[in-house]
Amino acid sequence: MNTQHGRDRWLAGISVIAIIFGLLTIKEGGSVLFGGEAARSAAGNYVPFVLWFNFLAGFAYVLAGTGMWLRQRWAARLAIAIAIATVLVFAAFIVHIGSGAAWEPRTLVAMTLRSVVWVAIAGIGRQRLLHKRPAAA
């Protein structure tokens, strides 16, 4: 519960998760995109549009997490947009798989995790930032 004297623990928790998740995403995606042939080879049959989306989304993760830490309403809206975009890219990835094109099985796991995490973050952010209840007297 959000009080005048304390930080909302749920909001603080998802803020930290979003920021860490974002920094790791930027690091990992950047290493494949800009790290040379060895990094691309180690990534296996990565799907470029998924990789680019995730890399760029990492910056939005950090921004959303920072905004949530600061209790900014726009951060909840950004988290909702991230969740929607992630699910849409995941759907496009599923279509890619269905087309018979090459893909990496760990991408399926990663996109499932990203979708679940961002839907949860968006839900908590929406509840805590967009639907604030007035403080009890």
Report the chain's terminal Cα–Cα distance, integer Å. 15
Average pLDDT value for the chain: 92
Summarize pLDDT for 44-83 with one digit per residue, the tens: 999 999 999 999 999 999 999 999 999 999 999 999 999 9
% of the chain with per-residue pLDDT over 90? 89
User: How far apart, in whole angstroms, are the C-alpha atoms of residue 107 and residue 5?
Assistant: 42
Residue with tokens 């496009």: 92
pLDDT band at 1 (very low <50, low <70, confident <90, very high): very low
Please state whether 61 falls in left (phi above 0), alpha (psi between -120 and 50) or beta: alpha
Q: Structure tokens of 96?
A: 């890619």
pLDDT band at 108 (very low <50, low <70, confident <90, very high): very high
Q: What pLDDT does 133 receive?
A: 56
Summarize pLDDT for 38-55 with one digit per residue, the tens: 999 999 999 999 999 999
Q: What pLDDT does 6 receive?
A: 62
Q: Name which residue leads in pLDDT, 136 or 133.
A: 133
Domain residue spans of the chain? 9-130
**137 pLDDT higher than 80:** no
Assign 27 to helix, strand or coil. Answer: helix
pLDDT band at 7 (very low <50, low <70, confident <90, very high): confident
